[in-house]
């Protein structure tokens, strides 16, 4: 019998799951999943006092899987800021109670996508937020090496700030993963936040080799950067079965502030999984998408 046969790598693919309003895109070394909602599929489900803070998971959350296989495991959901899920456009100061909006079916049908020449794809959704006047159109174009994220028509009239969350990544133990913005290193200690105008690109070092991520902004963008140590317990989001032990994790959040009650605001950025800083700078100077 043959010995030590190496496993066959997962083939690249793009799949639409219209009965779930979900999209899966897989390439060598990384994968992306987009969670959407519509008049058919609720924004999230909370049953028996579980998933109490899943408020925005169906509002366009983008799960980016890299070589960091622990990113979404362990205490991720107990410590992640539930108001700032990566990929979402949110009314961040809207008060939310445990389980609020559970089962909400947005009154929109423009949600879905298509598989282009395999393995490329496109997805889009019309956002109609629960408990808010926030609405927007969100689209994703998924290619060989990048995910292009676009938003338009971002409008709200409630007098609260609206943000698009480019990233909310759990960091290594000390929360000091190097971050370069336009080639310059930014402060690396948790608890530091800043608003940076004119950002063309950023590069975040991964928790493990192969988990680096690049962010390119086709038009210079004002970017909010926040490092923080977040604390919580599994019982906060899963009352009957969660462990009440308090846990902590460091995070880096990158977001675009659309201001109070924006009207027809937009955003555009490109995610580059596995790109080191030099590769991100090179891509930003000569982007493969326009």
CA dihedral (18, 111, 144, 12) in degrees, to 10, reads -10
Closest alpha carbon to 237 in 21, 45, 38, 35? 45
Determine the length of the chain: 290
- Residue pLDDT, tens place only, 115-151: 988 789 999 999 999 999 999 999 999 999 999 999 9
How far is it, in rounded angstroms, from Cα 269 to Cα 246?
Answer: 35
Strand partners, 289: none
What is the structure's pLDDT at 229? Answer: 96
Average pLDDT of the residues in 212-234: 97
Q: Hey, what are 71's tokens?
A: 């990113």
Name, in order, each residue with C-beta under 8 angstroms of 130's C-beta and a sequence gap of 6 or more: 43, 55, 100, 101, 104, 106
- Mean pLDDT of the 150-170 span: 98
Q: Where does residue 167 rank: exposed (0-12), middle (13-18), buried (19+ CB within 10 A)?
A: buried
Check whether 1 has a pLDDT greater than 90.
no
- The reported pTM is 0.94
Mean pLDDT of the chain: 95
CA 173 to CA 177: how far, in whole Å?
9
The residues near 74 (Cβ < 8 Å, ≥ 6 apart) are none
Q: How buried is residue 81: exposed, middle or buried, by Cβ count under 10 Å (0-12/13-18/19+)?
A: middle
Q: At residue 252, does pLDDT exceed 90? A: yes
Mapping DSSP to helix (H, G, I), strand (E, B) and coil, where does residue 234 land?
A: helix
The contacts of residue 223 (CB under 8 Å, 6+ apart) are 166, 181, 195, 196, 199, 202, 217, 254, 255, 256
Please tell me the predicted confidence (pLDDT) of residue 116. 83
């Amino acid at each position: 019998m043959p010995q030590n046969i190496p496993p066959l790598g997962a083939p690249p693919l793009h799949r639409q799951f219209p009965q779930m309003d979900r999209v899966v895109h897989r390439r060598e070394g990384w994968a992306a999943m987009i969670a959407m909602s519509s008049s058919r599929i609720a924004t999230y489900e909370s049953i028996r006092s579980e998933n109490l803070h899943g408020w925005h998971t169906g509002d366009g959350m983008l799960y980016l899987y890299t070589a960091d296989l622990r990113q979404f495991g362990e205490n991720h959901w107990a410590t992640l800021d539930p108001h700032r899920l990566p990929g979402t456009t949110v009314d961040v100061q809207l008060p939310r109670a445990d389980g609020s909006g559970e089962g909400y079916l947005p009154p929109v049908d423009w949600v879905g996508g298509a598989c282009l020449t395999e393995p490329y794809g496109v997805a889009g959704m019309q956002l109609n937020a629960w408990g808010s006047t926030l609405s927007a159109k969100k689209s994703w174009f998924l290619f060989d090496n990048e995910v292009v994220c676009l938003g338009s028509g971002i409008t709200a009239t409630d007098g609260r700030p609206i943000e698009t969350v480019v990233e909310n990544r759990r960091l290594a133990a000390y929360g000091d993963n190097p971050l370069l913005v336009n080639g310059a290193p930014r402060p690396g200690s948790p608890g530091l936040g800043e608003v940076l105008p004119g950002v063309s690109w950023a590069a975040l070092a991964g928790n493990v080799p192969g988990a680096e991520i690049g962010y390119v902004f086709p038009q210079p963008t004002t970017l909010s950067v926040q490092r923080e140590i977040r604390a919580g317990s599994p019982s906060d989001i899963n009352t009957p079965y969660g462990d009440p032990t308090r846990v902590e994790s460091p995070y880096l959040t990158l977001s675009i502030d659309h201001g109070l009650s924006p009207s027809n605001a937009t955003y555009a950025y490109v995610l580059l999984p596995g790109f080191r800083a030099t590769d991100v700078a090179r891509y930003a100077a000569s982007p493969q998408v326009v």
